[in-house]
Structure 1
Amino acid sequence: MVRPDKVEAVAEIAENFRGASASVVTEYRGLTMAQLTTLRRSLGDGATYRVAKNTLVKRAAEDAGVEGLDSMLVGPTAITFITGEPVDAAKALREFARTNQGLVIKGGFMEGRALSVDEVNRLADLESREVLLSKMAGAMKGTMAKAAGLFAAPASQVARLAQALADKRAEEGGAAPAAEAAPESDTDSAS
């Protein structure tokens, strides 16, 4: 007989899977309630850490269309449902696992596919969205400055060429009256 509390738990976990941009499956064996509370706080507002029975998670994952987690759902399991930035949550989980040996990252799920432990760690190695956006903006600004320089170069070359031509004419113009005066004096002396 199906118990209503289990049906409700499966529905809630399935909804968490549907609303999450990513999820990370962990084992929490040996962690105290105080350590779990610290972990939940370190994840911030964009992620929730939920301890659940493997059979309920399997049913919820099936209901939500999440595949590939069955091999991860062995032993005491907790899932981090990430609604915010996956990179930040993956970093927080990895940092917590480094200082607390009881937390073991088993894998995850993102963008319609299961993630291995290595892929979760690579996700944690990425820089945050804000840092990547600022780097991209800096690169675009540099590119725009180069483009502005390239577009301004022909105009400045024309201006330098016009100035050089004006300087040359001024030199020739100053020398031309003297050259014209010299032949007249030659004709004066011939007469």
Structure 2
Amino acid sequence: MACPTGYKILNEEWRLSVNRTEKAELIETLQATFNASTTIVVTHQVGLTVAESGELRLKMREAGAGFKVTKNRIAKLALKDTRYEDLDSLFTGPTAIGTSQDPVAAAKTLVEFAKTNTKLTIIGGSIDGKVLDKSGVEALAKLPSLDELRGKLVGLLQAPAGKLARVAQAPAGKLARVIKAREDQLQSS
């Protein structure tokens, strides 16, 4: 028995409205991700297995970054009114994006993964709205991350303090050895 025509139309309208609502939510979520990110890396991924995709997502999370496969139309709509609006021309083909608040994390992780897996190709990206081509993203990936820079800075700050402590202790140590030597000398005579 066929459904009444009115029911079919109503059902189709309901499906479309849910679909539109879902798309609006996706766009809003993606736009919030773009606004919260310092760096966006656009990639093409063709034929990544579920395991490879899972491995990449895990590496991205460990680096403090995110990785999302998205429809180009939704990504282009989400880019509007963000500082990354100029990236819309990169969204063609099988696109996925890496995002991070750390200026280097997404680029570093995706470039390293792409070196070992030819199914992922870096297309371009942006750092704070400045569009980067593939070589720009690769150059960005070679820079130290914020955590690495912090570690180096702490090391640089601790090195002078350590040297100062050793220098300050050296005269006291020498004086103690001289006194001990003199005491030994007096006891032996």
- Normalised to the residue count of structure 1, the TM-score between the two structures is 0.67
1-structure distance, mates of 2:156, 2:34: 36
**Partner of 1:58 in structure 2?**
76
- Residue range with higher mean Cα deviation, 60-69 or 129-138: 129-138
Letter in 2 for 1:103: L
- Residue range with higher mean Cα deviation, 116-125 or 61-70: 61-70
Deviation of the 1:81 alpha carbon? 1.8
Runs of 4+ in 1 over 3 A off after TM superposition: 133-146
Larger radius of gyration: 1
**Partner of 2:149 in structure 1?**
132
Identity, in percent, stands at 38
5+ residue gaps in structure 1?
A: 149-191
**Partner of 2:114 in structure 1?**
97
Q: How does 1:14-93 map to 2 (within 5 A)?
A: 14-45=31-62, 46-83=64-101, 85-93=102-110
Contact 1:67 1:113 survives alignment (8 Å): no
Q: Deviations over 1:99-136 (max 9, x none)?
A: 11010011112112222111111111112323333434
Alignment RMSD (CA, Å): 2.7
Deviation of the 1:89 alpha carbon? 2.6
Deviation of the 1:71 alpha carbon? 2.2
Letter in 2 for 1:70: D
2-structure distance, mates of 1:97, 1:62: 28
Contact 1:53 1:77 survives alignment (8 Å): yes
Contact 2:84 2:128 survives alignment (8 Å): no
5+ residue gaps in structure 2?
A: 1-15, 165-189
2-structure distance, mates of 1:41, 1:134: 23
1-structure distance, mates of 2:41, 2:152: 27
**Partner of 2:171 in structure 1?**
none
Aligned residues: 149
2-structure distance, mates of 1:93, 1:114: 17
Question: What secondary structure, in the 3-state scheme, does the structure 1 residue paired with 2:122 have?
Answer: strand
Letter in 1 for 2:76: K
- Normalised to the residue count of structure 2, the TM-score between the two structures is 0.68
- Residue range with higher mean Cα deviation, 15-24 or 60-69: 60-69
Deviation of the 1:143 alpha carbon? 7.3
